[in-house]
Amino acid sequence: MQQTNSFKGIAMLLLCAFIWGTAFVAQSVGADLLGPFSFNGIRSFLGAFFLVPCIAVIDKLSGKPLTFWGTDNDHKRGDLITGGICCGVLLTVASTLQQAGIAYTSAGKAGFITALYIVIIPILGLLVKKHVTLMQWAAVAVAAVGMYFICINEGFSINKGDLIILGCAVVFAVHIMAIERFTQLVDPVRMSAIQFFVCGCLSLPVIVWAEQPTLAAITAAWLPLAHAGIMSCGIAYTLQIAGQKYVNVILASILLSLESIFSVLAGWALLGETLTLREIGGCALVFIAILLAQMPERK
């Protein structure tokens, strides 16, 4: 039974990584049709509205009362709202940077650069006095070399989009650390629904007064929006939560980091994107760094 559950968890996390990886293609197509705030705002509302019935189904299956807050404890409710708002603000900044940057670079490169959050987290951990292993420092060094090959050309110039995506990876690292903090206190799926709703609301003013997308543009982008909103935000996040119940955190992180590989394959298969040998070598080094960053410290 335990082996069956482990296989189930691995399958869920692999599907999650596949959805996240192919979402870079949806975002790349969406960037040609909508502004970054319009795309992320609409996809966030779609993700939030999709998760609400998911919460109801999960509660019914577990025999819990059907309430959104899930508890009558005021302290828990306060933590849920605080966590949802904090994570929603960080998600808004990170996803907007990602959507803005992907308009200037390929979906495959964006996937690998975004995945650097796994390497950035140990560095940021020093600020809160977390222990950083020797293997994690080695990962930082390897990732730095890989990023040089991916982003810096022979003329020693860096693509604007790559630099924006790197900023996105830093904010995503802070976002993940915030999620780790608050999910110890509240239900993660409920908090995710709140963070997507906050992200959508924060995007609204820019959508209405600055970007002003036309109905024709939104209609033309319905497929990328549906994939990024329902599949990436709603389904993939739920798969991650469910899958990690059956798989240890080290294996789960390695499986989820495969989104960078899927982003390159999806960009090649669906958008005809190609990478130079130099960029492929850089991607390989970044992927090695991602694996090194998740290696347990030898006792």
Question: What whole-number distance in Å separates Cα of residue 238 and Cα of residue 231?
Answer: 10
Residue 44 has a pLDDT of 93
The answer, yes or no, to whether residue 15 has pLDDT greater than 90, is yes
Which has more confidence, 147 or 28? 28
Residue 292 has a pLDDT of 78
pLDDT confidence tier of residue 177, bands split at 50, 70 and 90? confident
Q: Which of 144-153, 221-230, 249-258 has the lowest mean pLDDT?
A: 249-258
Place of tokens 């996040």: 237
The answer, yes or no, to whether residue 19 has pLDDT greater than 60, is yes
Question: What whole-number distance in Å separates Cα of residue 173 and Cα of residue 293?
Answer: 13
Which has more confidence, 120 or 100? 100
Rounded to a whole number, what is the largest CA-CA distance in the chain?
Answer: 62
The answer, yes or no, to whether residue 35 has pLDDT greater than 70, is yes
Residue 164 has a pLDDT of 93
Residue 197 has a pLDDT of 94
Residue 205 has a pLDDT of 92
Residue 251 has a pLDDT of 64
Residue 70 has a pLDDT of 59
Average pLDDT, whole number, for the chain? 82
The angle subtended at Cα 242 by Cα 241 and Cα 243, nearest 5°, is: 95
Question: What whole-number distance in Å separates Cα of residue 36 and Cα of residue 97?
Answer: 8
Main-chain dihedrals φ then ψ at residue 152, nearest 5 degrees:
-100, 120
